[in-house]
Amino acid sequence: MSEEATEKRAREDESADGPAVPQEGESGPHAGAGHGEPDKSAKKTEDSAAPSRAEVSNYEIVEHWFDVAADRLELPDDVAAVLRSSYREVQVQVPVRLGDGKLHVFSGYRVQHNGARGPYKGGIRFHPEVDLDEVRALAELMTWKTAIVNLPYGGAKGGVNVDPSKLEAREVQAVARSFMDKIEKVLGPTRDIPAPDVGTNAQVMAWLMDEYGKLHGHTPACVTGKPIALEGSYGREAATGRGVVQVFREAAPQVELDPAGARFVVQGFGNVGSWAARLMQELGGTMVGAADASGAIASGNGIDAEKLAEHMRDGGSVGDFDGSAEEIEPDELLALECDVFIPAALGGMIHKANAGRMRCRMIVEGANSPTTPAADEILNDKGVLIVPDVLANAGGVVVSYFEWVQNLQHFRWDEEQVNERLGEIMRRAFGEVANRAQENGTPMRPAAYELGIERVVEAASTRGYI
Q: Which of residues 19-78 bind ligand NAD (CB under 6 A)?
A: 45-46, 50-51
Tell me whether residue 251 or residue 293 sits nearer to ligand NAD (CB atom).
Answer: 293
Cα–Cα distances in angstroms (integers) from residue 19 to residues 49, 56, 74, 173, 353, in the given order: 12, 12, 37, 34, 9
Enumerate the H helices of 284-363 as residue ranges: 305-313, 330-333, 352-355
Binding flag, residue 291, ligand NAD (CB under 6 A): yes
Active-site residue flag, 157: yes
Q: How far is the CB of 236 from ligand NAD (least distance, A)?
A: 8
Whole-angstrom distance, CA of residue 167 vs CA of residue 28: 10
Among 247, 265, 346, 456, binds ligand NAD (CB under 6 A): 346
d(CA 463, CA 466): 8
Closer to ligand NAD by Cβ: residue 51 or 285: 51
Indicate the residue among 108 and 457 with the shorter CB distance to ligand NAD.
Answer: 108
3-state secondary structure of 286: strand
H or E element in which residue 249 lies: helix 236-251
Q: Which of residues 218-247 bind ligand NAD (CB under 6 A)?
A: 240
- Taking residue 383's Cβ as centre, other Cβ atoms within 10 Å add up to 9
- Sequence-distant (6+) residues with CB within 8 A of 324 are 299, 301
Of 137-156, which residues contact ligand NAD (CB under 6 A)?
none
Helix (H) or strand (E) holding 423: helix 415-440
Q: Is 225 left (phi over 0), alpha (psi -120 to 50) or beta?
A: left
Residue nearest to ligand NAD (CB): 270
The Cα angle at residue 10 between residues 89 and 384, in degrees rounded to 5: 90
Considering the rule CB under 6 A, would residue 423 count as an interface residue with ligand NAD?
A: no
Residue 277 sits in the site that holds ligand NAD (CB under 6 A): no
- Candidates 8, 44, 145, 157; catalytic one: 157
Question: According to the binding rule CB under 6 A, does residue 268 interact with ligand NAD?
Answer: yes
Q: Does 183 bind ligand NAD (CB under 6 A)?
A: no
Q: x/- string (CB under 6 A) for ligand NAD, residues 378-417? A: ---------------x--x---------------------
Residues catalogued as catalytic: 157
Binding site for ligand NAD (CB under 6 A): 45-46, 50-51, 196-199, 240, 267-273, 291-293, 330, 344-346, 366-368, 393, 396
